[in-house]
Structure 1
Amino acid sequence: MAITETSLVSVWVKDQDESLAFYTDTLGFETGDDIRLAEDFRWLTVRHPNQPELHLHLTTAGPPLQDDLVDAINRALDSGAMPGIGVTVDDCRKTYEELSAKGVTFLQEPAERPYGVEALMRDNSGNWIVLVEHRDYDPEAMTVGADGKPTTTE
């Protein structure tokens, strides 16, 4: 097989200019491509300076998608429950404090997990972004507790 890496992930957003500002000014990404391909279509990407080969395509729902799909995507964004991306952080608690001070909405404060420390936030369009401070763990030793949360058998 000739696939060598993932280079693009699309993230639905409500407003491209506002999302560009959020991802660059708040999260520290850099602008990638910003091209007007048609009167009603703007190709806009951001990328993290430590991983410039992976672009996040910040795109709005619209043509050529059917109206019912556009409505469904926008309803999911408005509800704040749209799955988004996961990012690695050096210090989850410190990142949580810094982003909270910038007004970022968190759904879950940093919490210990068998694989590290994790927090869950929303971007300005309602997409979830998981912040993970990784640590070494044995996935074979993980189980699910009675509360449905992962635990370890170690």
Structure 2
Amino acid sequence: MASYGGRYFDGGYGRDSKGGRSIYNERLNNFKEQAPNLNDIEFMCCDYQNFSDYKNCVFYFDPPYKDTKQYSKQSIDYDSFYDFLRKLSENNIVLISEYNMPDDFKCIWQKERKVLQKSDRVTGEKAVEKLFEIRE
């Protein structure tokens, strides 16, 4: 909840440009409000390859987007990741947030938005955020 654009303090700390809002506190309060409705859901943060033995589940992946700034301490082999998603989708529903995916992944939702990765929260570029699933 305190990440900034998924980069965890890489130039920002969850405040608006004037310092009047605490985005961290807003996110935390929102989560607390919604928490009673989140029954029988398991959230995990770990290597994606830990999920190979699951069946009849819904998986949502939000990796560092290909051809964008990556995390500083690790990188993703995207071809291997795509193969993993294909295999996982044989017994599960698999959803992926990305800008682009290989042709066998189907875009099921998209929205243009301004990507604000700079700490000034003003400078940004337009991008089309997409949600993909594996084609059947």
**More strand as a share of residues:** 1
Same fold (TM over 0.5): no
The alignment's TM-score, normalised by the length of structure 2, stands at 0.29
The alignment's TM-score, normalised by the length of structure 1, stands at 0.27
